[in-house]
Structure 1
């Protein structure tokens, strides 16, 4: 009887072991398939504002910096890298998912190795936008200047890899552009200069022309796969609620008059990208619209279902106005940022960025399979 029990136990153990090893083998094969798929991507390049700036502003003379605590509190080793959040950005998750690298570094970081440069960097600068005035207001790197940095980058690569290999490398890369929020939040709705010359509708068209110019510039430099991120629900940003509500402390709610501007702009952007796809198809370029409006709006409107306790104020300070230097080592910080949609009054938390990345995975998959 004891021998039967022992035999049964051994059989159970062997079956469990076989199942475990089979599962591991399946996972390994699945992992290899993903990596093989992603061999079509040579590098990742990012342009835009603080939502995708991993630290370029550390090397720019501007007050729009985040290279100090509590920023980076939940980044590995608690390092404040210059990312405007408590941890990683959506672009870090995308780069890791593609298989490029775990963290996308800033181009202006002087210590980057050639391999760091080769596999991709971000040229983004917090406070920037499609409107050249937006970057001037914050004294940061404009998108046209980010494009110039990319041209400089190409020369650095060419000097080591040669022109033909560099061209092939750029052709196989993925490009992502994320900007526009500052054009409305920091510029149009806050500073009166553009409102004197543009209606909301004509300002949207002005921005779209600058988007087109940037995309054409990237295509001329060899970009073949470009994803452009739309605007978030800007009327739900804590700072917009604070600055534009009559009683923003006691009665906080999204302001649809501003979010509707973002929705209209996003619709125009999608149409423009489709039009450019038709006109530039002969070059082999592909353009993709990346929607963050709907997923972020859903997180805010149904915050408890995502595990959030607070959706309309940030984790840092009061969460109503603080950002950049106003969110600093002396600021009160919530104990668990994963319970908040926003880290400061403008920027999402690492958890929110991860959820946005997950919502963008179908777009990422389409880009890397193309």
Structure 2
């Protein structure tokens, strides 16, 4: 399988163009973008999403289905969390997209909402690792897999409830509705990856992927409408990356169902449908809210840009996990996850896209953030959002 993957890299760029008809858009936009200083643009950021955005909520909830610990992971790969929080709060070897976003705005990293010592002066992170779009009770009695979350996962409705509670008890306490909306209008809302856990749990089941895509996007839009009602004016919504190109999904996929890049074709097809439906819905919401800036962050094309040109980004292992079960082709074994006894860590995580076969390395998150913020992989561009904010 590894041989198939690496031999196919020569065809990968053409393949990504075939799947991503808007690729030319990014080349032209990148060339026309002028540098812009993001510092001081926002004083508060509010984030939502799953494990790609969660900075500690799942850990505080005790939700990880994980018997291993960090003693097998060299501390030098975990020391990047410099703000004193437990490195295990993030499902990576370091910082996430939302962390690099805050850094670009000259803000501290966001406090997870469930942190007992939370300080919400610069915003809050409501993302929960393992979150699903489908209702939590949908998983009761169903044999739908989960490698990370204990039992029934949290639904994204939980994050909506947390946000509403935040407004009432902390964010807008003592303010009337109008004053609260003004505060929200001056904040940045970042909706990270939402929906991947549904596709992962449904992998190999009888669940219709088309139906799942529609349900997942409906949940994203429900969150969006909640934020808009609260006064949100500047919102970035991430699409989903081609997770079928990560070790977990590749290892679960029969060889004959891998595409030309060596990725799980069915999973990526579902992700493409999700992204297409999401973009159509975002366009409708833009028309309904013309005074708001609603940005689509194209994770699909950003990820493929790095995957199909790894040397440009100093990536030497585009498919193999950094931390995992050595001796397997992709360094991934679903029964022996990163940190479990017998697993090992690569010498340089920055040379890998995948940290543990499921999540990305800090280096990959940093590259993706740069593509989002500075290279035109947002529509409208993140620079345009900042210009709109500064002109107010």
Quote the offset at 1:229 in angstroms.
0.6
Deviation at 1:177, TM superposition (A): 1.1
Deviation at 1:366, TM superposition (A): 2.6
1:100 alignment partner in structure 2: 107
- Structure 2 distance, partners of 1:290, 1:158, is 28
Pairing 1:326–2:337 present? yes
- Indicate which of 112, 115, 123 corresponds to 2:118: 112
Corresponding residue SS for 2:324: coil
Matches within 5 A, 1:1-370: 34=37, 38-64=39-65, 68-69=69-70, 70=73, 73-76=78-81, 79-101=86-108, 103-113=109-119, 117-133=120-136, 138=149, 139-155=152-168, 156-159=170-173, 165-178=179-192, 179-185=194-200, 187-192=201-206, 195=207, 199-246=208-255, 253-281=262-290, 284-318=291-325, 320-321=331-332, 326-328=337-339, 330=341, 331-361=343-373, 362=376, 363-370=381-388
Structure 1 residue 164, shift from structure 2 partner: 5.1
Displacement of 1:97 in angstroms is 0.5
TM-score (norm 1): 0.78
Higher helix share: 1
Shift of 1:257: 3.4
What is the Cα deviation at residue 92 of structure 1?
Answer: 0.5
Secondary structure of 1:105 counterpart: coil
Tell me which residue corresponds to 1:13: none
Kindly state the Cα deviation for residue 108 of structure 1 after the two structures are TM-superposed.
0.9
Q: Deviations over 1:33-87 (max 9, x none)?
A: 836xx54423111111000001111111322469952396142469514111000
Distance of aligned partners of 1:83 and 1:321 in 2 relative to their CA distance in 1, 3 Å threshold: same
CA distance 1:356–1:135, shift in 2 (3 Å): farther
Q: CA RMSD in A?
A: 3.1
The 2-side partners of 1:307 and 1:268 are apart by 33
Q: Give me the whole-angstrom Cα distance separating, in 1, the residues matched to 2:56 and 2:361.
A: 16
The CA deviation at 1:320 is 4.4
Are the aligned partners of 1:174 and 1:367 in contact in 2 as well (CA < 8 Å)?
no
CA distance in 1, matches of 2:67, 2:298: 26
Q: CA deviation at 1:171?
A: 1.3
**Count of aligned positions:** 324
Alpha-carbon distance between aligned partners in 1 of 2:122 and 2:362, rounded to the nearest angstrom: 23
Secondary structure of 1:310's counterpart equals coil
User: If you compute each CA radius of gyration, which structure gives the higher value, 1 or 2?
Assistant: 1
Unaligned runs of 5+ in 2: 1-34, 140-145
Q: Deviations over 1:188-221 (max 9, x none)?
A: 22444xx1xxx32232222222222111111122
Distance in 2 of aligned mates of 1:48 and 1:324: 26
Q: TM-score by structure 2 length?
A: 0.74
Residue 369 of structure 1 deviates from its aligned partner by: 2.4
Deviation at 1:234, TM superposition (A): 2.1
Deviation at 1:325, TM superposition (A): 8.2
